[in-house]
Structure 1
Amino acid sequence: MCGAELSSLPDGVQRVARLLQDQGHPHLPVMLDDAARTAQQAADALGIAVGQIAKSIVFRRRADDAAVLVVTSGDRRVDERKVEALVGPTGRADASFVKARTGYSIGGVAPIGHLQAPVTLIDRELFRFDEIWAAAGHPHGVFRLRPQDLERLTGAPVADVAQEPGA
């Protein structure tokens, strides 16, 4: 992607694309025809298993008002007790908090390129897959990566933060 191609993308996707380029990541964002605000919508649009979607869930840490980003597999739910055991008490983050801290709207929160660096946790369930897809800063934008790439790009620890299937 060259500068002209980047400038035609939404701002959030441009930010993600530049970061990926700077890190030498081999896959730049792609724009889907339809919005992929949910993991299921993204998986359907890409023709992949919903578990291959790296969904970004943002919480608000009570002690210091920090954003806590949990990146988990699209077929799993975050276990808030497990997250709190690692980072302290949290609460749900509303849309305005998410936008102010990350620079992205809910439904397009990328795991990288946040306005303010969040506390980030990567769910180990993503490592079931060789290839995953994450939001690229816009509800229509996604990018391909491996779980190991996510770990490298974010510098975040891998943790057990998902509910048990069927819980």
Structure 2
Amino acid sequence: MALGTPATVALDALGIAFTAHPYDHNPSATEFGLEAATELGINAERVFKTLMAMVDSELVVAVVPVSGKLDLKALAMAVHGKKAVMADPIVAQRRTGYVVGGISPVGQKTAHRTVIDETVELFDTVFVSGGKRGFDIELAPSDLVRATRATIAAVARNSLHL
């Protein structure tokens, strides 16, 4: 069990294979996903960031490539909501049990409806936060979907499209 974060514990419990990728996190970094891509030497389209948005009155997790941005209108439509706004980072930390920059879509303290951008299907494996800054996990997109009970939809802008 790599580093024993809630994300790795959850994946182990589900019998989902993953590869741990720790790296040296720079405390002054603010673009955590791009830092991971650079430090791990992988294409930014394969590294997905975990964001939280408030859709109407529900917190929703969105997982999009770090090379793009979350399309809030598309996220709202994907979950049959009217309006989406980014969640307060303090609320995101409290509800997930992770710190900003280390929020994993897997093993969150409170389960949330999750939407993963459709570009996830372009790759054999993708990278997401493993539950702390400086630690990503690599897994198959289908396993990420299973672990998070996510739906797949076009919710990213300025990245690859199917």
The TM tier, using the shorter chain, reads 0.7 to 0.9
Matching of residue 21 in structure 1 with residue 15 in structure 2: no
Partner of 2:50: 56
What is the RMSD of the two structures over their aligned residues, measured on CA atoms?
Answer: 2.0
1:5-20 → structure 2 map (5 Å cutoff) = 9=3, 14-20=5-11
Could you tell me the TM-score, scaled by structure 1's length? Answer: 0.84
The percent identity for this pair of structures is 28
Q: Which runs of 5+ in 1 are unaligned?
A: none
Runs of 4+ residues deviating >6 angstroms: none
Within the alignment, does 1:69 sit opposite 2:61 as a pair? Answer: yes
| TM-score calculated relative to the size of structure 2 | 0.86
Q: How many pairs align?
A: 155
Question: How many angstroms apart in 1 are the aligned matches of 2:62 and 2:12?
Answer: 23
Unpaired stretches in structure 2, ≥5 consecutive residues:
none
- Which structure's CA Rg is the greater one? 1
Distance 2:25 2:102 in 1: 12
SS for the counterpart of 1:59 is strand
Instruction: Check whether the contact 1:127–1:147 (CA below 8 A) recurs between aligned residues.
Output: yes
Deviation readout 1:76-116 (Å, 9 max, x if unpaired): 21111111112322211122111111111111110111111
Q: 1:33 deviation in Å?
A: 1.7
Q: Give the Å deviation of 1:73.
A: 1.6
- Tell me the distance in 2 between the aligned counterparts of 1:110 and 1:165: 20
Deviates more, 1:22-31 or 1:67-76: 22-31
